[in-house]
Chain A
Amino acid sequence: MINLAQKDIAHSLGKFIVTSMGVGMLLGIVLIMIGVYRGMIVDAQILLNDLDVDLWVVQEDTLGPFAEASRIHESLKETLRAIDGVDKAGALTFQNIQLPATPKPVRVVAVGFDPHGSFNAIKPERIIAGRTLQRSHYEIVVTDKTGFKVGETIKLGRNNFKVVGITKGTVSSGGDSLVYISLKDAQELQFSYSNNRIRNDKARGIINRDSHMVNTIVASLKPGYSNDMVANAIRRFKHKSVYTKAEQKTILTKNLVEKSSKQIGMFTAILVAVSTIIIALIIYTMTLEKMKEISIMKLIGIPNSLIIKMVVQETLLLAFIAFIFGNIFAYLIYDKFPKRVVLEMPDAWMLLIVIIVFAILSSLIGVKKVISADPAAAIGG
């Protein structure tokens, strides 16, 4: 039997392909949107996974240090070490800073850790040039995306920092590039004030501000101790909020990314709806353009089923080719985005299913036109 859809498409192939490409670009953007969301989830966990500690101790009643601000005294580190089950403890700081780069400053998150302490915040395999921090002062390791090279100096606050290492793929939970400085430098940047401010404070009677604050104390446990048990012990005695790695992961992926995921979800839903409407419109016009031929076919006795098959097959083919173009498009542009975009096959398959279902539904508009076409209209007049 002659396949009418195939013949019709072959007859206006260029138009069909250009149309599919147009719809494909929309679907490509849908895939990118989903990829942005996936990228956010990956980014949110990079620091958490790089540090790979068991417990996060933060200021009481906060979801710190990533989802909420947290301040906690550095000395808690010593106290934690005394708790049964705690193997190692270390202090960390996180702060947003602007790196004075040309042509314009780069916003980064600075991670402060003690180069001589228990935890190295920089995973060795992340380093692509230079080395990790070794001195307690004025060294900085930066992410490659900041554009700095080993050996350059960066002025932060009152001091010059020397770039000693470059990492790759390290971003904050918000997707900003990371830099690493020593805990002491970080504390000075975050908690110390200018000479003028100190003079002012002295005049007002405020003296000796404590700069030995950090954002979190992290701890790893001895083998055989459960995270939850030790976490509960710390909570009970120390009036701090304590999160296990798993809980911190939930905070990052749920609380932090949730709003964005709703935002992106809305965008994605709207784009899918727009794509569906466009597919429906295309099918409708394609059917409308063929009304005369459809009437003739009905008049000479071609059954509806054959004509409907043509409309439905054309719709499905349009959706499928658009899906292929969408994927090609998404793969061509995804790494051009400033933040991480993660394209995953399951997301693409989901989109394919959704688009095929909607395409079938929208082809019903064309099918309705076919059924209502009047064979006598073919020769009308």
Chain B
Amino acid sequence: MSEKSIRVENLIKNFGEGESLVEVIDGASFSIDKGELVALTAPSGAGKTTLLMMIGCVEEPTSGTIYLGDEKVYDNKWLTKETRKIRREKIGFIFQAHHLIPFLTVLENVTLVPQTNGISKKDSEKDAMELLKYFEISDKANATSAQLSGGQNQRVSIARALANKPEIILADEPTAALDLKRSVDVVKMLKKIAVDQNVAVVIVTHDEAMYPLCDRIIKIENKKVISTEVNS
């Protein structure tokens, strides 16, 4: 029996109220194991980002329960004032755009969150350099994002998401801007990370070509969440 990394029960999310009420998620219940790579897919506007941001303690749900690892973080309300602390300690975020801080170097971008978590400059830089080596970009450690190519920036942003040794990686359409070969590379890399680091990885993608690389597909249909195993 594998360990649960994310567990969501009866999660509901509405935007607005009264006339302008928009129901996005209406009672989602699912769980994701450590080491598992899950694709989250649905048509545009169906609520993928919203769901991801609720798991990531960024967007507050309307009601329900969220567990991250052993910790219950949401039970009809946030159970901690410091959701940002959960984010920087447990979660790695990857986006479609690299969203690196332009006035920081590659190395500073990757060490910012670990240093905020209290890791020393020396240790965080040592860890970061290992990650950058893994992504074959350690020679650019002192460059800024403006000096890197799109692919290089994307790799740095993945390194940043891993730098705080997260329990969960949430990736919102990380391959949307990439060609097929690069997309496959990124997803394979995330699968390897999921296994090697024993973390749960959720990636939002429309690209059916990615499905065989994932362990499971979670779909949002009519505001409900449906989970299907991938048998490849």
A binding-site residues for B, Cβ under 8 Å: 1-2, 4, 7-8, 10-12, 292-293, 296-303, 306, 375-376, 378-379
Q: How far, in whole Å, are A2 and B101 apart by their CA atoms in the complex?
A: 13
Given contacts A293-B101, A303-B116, contact A7 B108 (CB under 8 A): yes
Contact status A2-B49, CB under 8 Å:
no
Which residue of A1, A296, A376 is within 8 Å of B101 (Cβ)? Answer: A296
A376, B99: Cβ atoms closer than 8 Å? no
* Contact yes or no, A299 B101, CB < 8 A: no
Q: A7-B108, A300-B93, A301-B89 are in contact. Are A306 and B103 (CB under 8 A)?
A: no
Q: Taking the nearest CB of chain A, how far is it from the CB of B93, in angstroms?
A: 6
Q: How far is the CA of A1 from the CA of B111 in the complex (A)?
A: 9
Interface status of B38 (Cβ within 8 A of chain A): no
Inter-chain contact B103/A1, CB cutoff 8 Å = no
Contact A301 B99 (CB under 8 A): no
Name B85's closest neighbour in chain A (CB-CB): A301
B115's partner among A2, A11, A292, A296 (CB-CB below 8 A) is: A2
A4: chain B residues at CB < 8 Å are: 103-104
Q: Would you call B172 an interface residue if the criterion is a C-beta within 8 Å of the partner chain's C-beta atoms?
A: yes
Residue B203 lies at the interface, judged by CB distance under 8 Å to chain A: no
Residue of A with least CB distance to B111: A2
User: Which residues of B sit under 8 angstroms from A298, Cβ to Cβ?
Assistant: 84
Give the interface size class of chain B: 20 to 34
A375 to B87, CA, bound (A): 12
Say how far A214's CB is from chain B's closest CB, in angstroms.
73
- Residue B112, interface by CB 8 Å: yes
B interface, CB within 8 angstroms of A: 49, 53, 58-59, 84-89, 91, 93, 95-97, 99, 101-104, 108, 111-113, 115-116, 121, 144, 160, 172
The answer to whether B113 and A301 touch across the interface, beta carbons within 8 angstroms, is: yes
CB atoms of B116 and A306 under 8 A apart: yes
Chain B residues with CB under 8 Å of A300's CB are 87-88, 93, 112-113, 160
Classify the interface of chain A: helix, strand, loop or mixed: helix
Question: Which of A2, A4, A300 gathers most chain B CB within 10 Å?
Answer: A300
Given contacts A298-B84, A300-B113, 7 further A-B contacts (CB under 8 A): A1-B116, A2-B108, A2-B115, A301-B89, A376-B58, A378-B95, A379-B96
A4 to B116, CA, bound (A): 12
Smallest beta-carbon distance B50→chain A, Å: 9
Contact, CB under 8 Å: A299 / B93: yes
Question: In whole angstroms, what is the CA distance A2 to B113 when docked?
Answer: 10
B113 touches A379 (CB 8 A): no
Contact status of A12 and B103, CB under 8 A, knowing A302-B88, A376-B59, A379-B49: yes
| Residue of A2, A299, A378 touching B112 (CB-CB under 8 A) | A2
Closest-CB distance, A303 to chain B (whole angstroms): 6
B98, chain A: closest CB distance, angstroms: 10
Q: Are A301 and B84 in contact (CB under 8 A)?
A: yes
CA gap between A299 and B111 in the complex, in Å: 16
29 A-B residue pairs with CB within 8 Å:
A1-B115, A2-B111, A2-B115, A7-B103, A7-B108, A11-B103, A12-B103, A293-B101, A293-B103, A296-B99, A298-B84, A299-B58, A299-B93, A300-B88, A301-B85, A301-B87, A301-B91, A301-B116, A302-B88, A302-B112, A302-B113, A302-B116, A303-B85, A303-B116, A306-B116, A379-B95, A379-B96, A379-B97, A379-B99
Question: Once bound together, how far apart are the Cα atoms of A11 and B103, in whole Å?
Answer: 5
Task: Name the residue of chain A whose CB is nearest to the CB of B172.
Answer: A379
- The complex places the Cα of A240 from the Cα of B53 at a distance, in Å, of 90
The residues of A that contact B91 with a CB separation of less than 8 Å are 301
B94 nearest CB across to chain A (Å): 10
Q: Chain B nearest CB: distance from A12 CB in Å? A: 7
Taken together as a complex, chains A and B put the C-alpha atoms of A298 and B57 apart, in Å, by: 12
Report the Cα distance A303→B58, complex, angstroms.
13
Query: In the bound complex, how far is the Cα of B118 from the Cα of A306, in angstroms?
Result: 13
Q: Closest CB-CB distance, A15 to chain B, in whole Å?
A: 12
A2-B85 Cα distance, complex, nearest whole Å: 18
Report chain B residues within 8 Å CB of A8: 103
Across-interface contacts of B103 in A (CB, < 8 A): 4, 7-8, 10-12, 293
